[in-house]
Amino acid sequence: MNILMLAEVSAATVIGGAERVLREQALGLHRQGHKVSVLARAPIGDLRSQASVEDVVEYRYPVSRRNESAFVLSSVARSVHAFDHASRQGMPDVVIVHQSLAGLGPILRHRRRARAWVYVCLSLAHEEYLSRTSAGATVLQRIRHGLNARVRRWCEHAVMRRCERVVVLSEFMKRRVLTVHGIPEPRLLVIPGAADPVRFRPAEDPKEVRRRLALPLNRLVLFTVRNLVPRMGLENLLRALASLREDLHGALVLIGGEGPLQTGLERLIQSLGLGEQVRLLGFVPESELPRYYQAADLVLMPTHQLEGFGLVTVEALACGTPVLGTPVGAIPEVLARVDPELVTDGTDAAALAAALRRILRRFRDQPGERARLSAKGRALVEKDYTWTRHSEQLEQILRDVCGGP
């Protein structure tokens, strides 16, 4: 099949989950023998009109970032122009839309140019926007904020209802799409997120990994990697840590990621007296991410709201590191299969502290318990959460909507 993927993020520049899913799907379908190309909005600061990921070509189009209106209008217009250009290389059998703004213009203008259209929904656009942005202090700012959210919701609905199938990564996201957009359930399919079990694997020598990362060899290490935004629950995590000084004496907590909360988190760390215990790492490069999972005794997912899947969960489990997470979004769908006690009772600081105290005492009082959870988590990923399995399921959906081989 000739497959064209439309996205607002780049498969060639992976900085988060959206880019990772796009990249793995593109490469997975390519390795199965399909011709795959990506049409993406140009990343900020990257002026290349084209990039490559192995043999997958990514065509890019620039957009105006002067203001919100210019951004939306230029995104729609230039995505249509770029779609015209990409179509000259061969009409697509199927178009996979990863974000609604990237697909709106092409599906409205050129829907008949492809045999089928499929939407991949990682999170709802307007909910993601509302979780990342402030409503503002003035009435005008709040009105503009509300309108922006409505536009995102309308764009997503317009694209989804024109697609033959909508793919989500979790049962949680399936329920959200049913509730918000009313997509008929037979058109809505779940393919779980995944990890690469070759790249994300247990360390042969954990001490050597810690040496390479300049981490202490004899301290308990807790790790989380998140965008530093309110929905990730990092403030609650810091307050939980502050209440566990006795239980976490000598522990080191590493927080990877960038975002608007960085300054606020730095202040909170100092005000809670956690300066010697908590370290903000900043952006963790893709090449270093497996090492941090391998070096940690426990990975934390303190999400407060909106976790469409949470690739961190399965990546850490693939590295043999147990994960403790909140009962938000899709987190329990994975962690409860390893052990129900890896899911906290709530998202507040008290619930995080209680669960963290409980799991660390299990590790201390039951020799071999961490190793048991490690092996069970790794086996679960190998069985159900690999990108190979994910791509095979996606390919079958594409064959079905295209009417055969």
* Structure confidence by residue, pLDDT tens digits, 150-184: 999 999 999 999 999 999 999 999 999 999 999 99
- Answer whether 146's CB lies under 8 Å from 126's CB: no
- As a whole number of angstroms, the distance between CA 213 and CA 201 comes to 17
Other CB atoms closer than 10 Å to residue 252's CB: what's the count?
A: 18
For the record, the structure tokens of 16 come out as 């988060």
Which CATH homologous superfamily contains domain 2-194+386-402?
Glycogen Phosphorylase B; (3.40.50.2000)
Lowest mean pLDDT among 46-50, 171-175, 259-263, 289-293: 46-50
Q: 146 or 392: which carries more pLDDT confidence?
A: 392
Burial of 188 (0-12, 13-18, 19+ CB in 10 A): buried
- Residues of the chain within CATH 3.40.50.2000 domain(s) are 2-194+386-402, 206-384
CATH 3.40.1360.10 correct for 206-384 = no
Other CB atoms closer than 10 Å to residue 357's CB: what's the count?
A: 16
Other CB atoms closer than 10 Å to residue 192's CB: what's the count?
A: 19
Q: Residues in the chain, how many?
A: 405
pLDDT-derived band at 135 (thresholds 50, 70, 90) equals: confident
- Find the mean pLDDT for residues 354-376: 95
| pTM, full prediction | 0.93
Task: Inform me whether the pLDDT recorded for 404 exceeds 70.
Answer: no
